[in-house]
Structure 1
């Protein structure tokens, strides 16, 4: 699949990463990487003539907006934005079943799952321990549309990670009982029918001092005939399929509007 460039300047290249593609790899024989599609095979290495700096990560199965710096100074600049949580990231996902809320905050800490020896799998953790260190994590969710996929209940949601932990969105959705459609790992290897995992980084806002980069992809799922032919809509809570409507729902989740909406908070009780 092609890697589409959404923005490029002297410091950054921002692309639309396809699903089921690595960002980079130390294995020179691995060609299914973003690095290979937009630069030389060794572009992610410091020894490269023109190294790329991957300042954020997207899982192999996740598609969407990915920011890459072209030099160390630019990498440090955008890295500070991520570190200080000044960036704004918005993901679209399709969840199994219909959530009992329209807007929610998920506040489960996340740590490595010790039961999955040798596998990079995370889990929600009540309290950190020497055998299972964990970091606080917070995701905000807004339900956009409910319907069915292949006749089974499913929902389209907007996800905004307030923090940025490994597998955060996938773990949080699984923990509240609504795994992401096609998520093989967090469905205990059961959700194998869909052709992809339906998680897409749709918009990234980088508020630099001199200018703000606001990068957005087209709506990712309904343009895919394999998905659209299997989806039956039941209720649209918010319009979101056009670029303008998507910005509007981002405003809703940014402002944490809950008036008149069914709200739920998920956290471990003390």
Structure 2
């Protein structure tokens, strides 16, 4: 699959990363990486002739917007914004089950799942039942807005907008699983059970990076319903919001940004 460039300047390159692709790799035999598609294999290394600076990360299975700084100065500027939580990231996801609230905040701390192997990098939310196995938990916060419900291959699913307020490893996937709605096709957090879908349905759809000299607001097209492998297996049930074109998506981003929405069925998970 191609890595599509969404924006390019002297300071930044923003691409649409395909699902099931690494960002980079120290294994020279591994060619399924973003770096191999857009630059030399070693471009993620500081000693490269033309180094790339990844100011954010996306999991192997996650698709969508990936911002890359082309200079150390640009990387430092973007890094400070991420550190201070001044950026905004919005993800579309399809999760298992019908969500019974319209909006929720999920504030379970996230740590290392100490029951998993050292190489799995699996995380877990800290709850009353996981205290003994959640290592080094750190505060985490995700906001969720339910957009639509339906059925995938006859099984209930929901389309949701996710906004990570913090940036922990696997945060969105862990938080969705913890409230009982694992991301469709998430092999790791379904305990290796959800193997039928052709991909994991999590996509970084919009990134707002308020840089002083070069403010960025990048958005991709809706990625799921345009894919016949999903749409042919989808049956709609109830749509709460329109979100499939650019203007409608910006509108639901405005809704999830508000601290409180009158008339919205809300729940706090913490």
TM-score, normalised with respect to structure 2 = 0.96
Q: Distance between the aligned counterparts of 1:237 and 1:191, measured in 2?
A: 26
Structure 1 match to 2:26 = 26
| Aligned counterpart in structure 1 of residue 221 of structure 2, from 218, 227, 231 | 218
Q: Where in structure 2 are there 5+ consecutive unaligned residues?
A: none
Structure 1 match to 2:87 = 87
Q: 2:226 matched to 1:249?
A: no
Give the secondary structure class of the aligned counterpart of 1:13.
strand
Q: Distance between the aligned counterparts of 1:120 and 1:131, measured in 2?
A: 13
Q: How much does 1:209 deviate?
A: 1.6
Q: Distance between the aligned counterparts of 1:249 and 1:225, measured in 2?
A: 25
Structure 2 match to 1:120 = 121
Structure 1 match to 2:156 = 153
Superposition pairs for residues 154-173 of structure 1, below 5 Å?
154-173=157-176
Structure 2 match to 1:76 = 76
Q: Distance between the aligned counterparts of 2:241 and 2:127, measured in 1?
A: 33
Q: Deviations over 1:39-95 (max 9, x none)?
A: 011111111100101111000000000000111111101000000000000000001
Q: How many residues align?
A: 267
What CA RMSD, in Å, does the superposition of the two structures yield over aligned residues?
1.4
Larger deviation: 21-30 or 207-216?
207-216
Q: 2:51 matched to 1:48?
A: no
Q: Distance between the aligned counterparts of 1:258 and 1:208, measured in 2?
A: 28
Superposition pairs for residues 123-134 of structure 1, below 5 Å?
123-126=124-127, 132-134=135-137
Q: How much does 1:235 deviate?
A: 0.7
Structure 2 match to 1:199 = 202
Q: Where in structure 1 are there 5+ consecutive unaligned residues?
A: none
TM-score, normalised with respect to structure 1 = 0.96
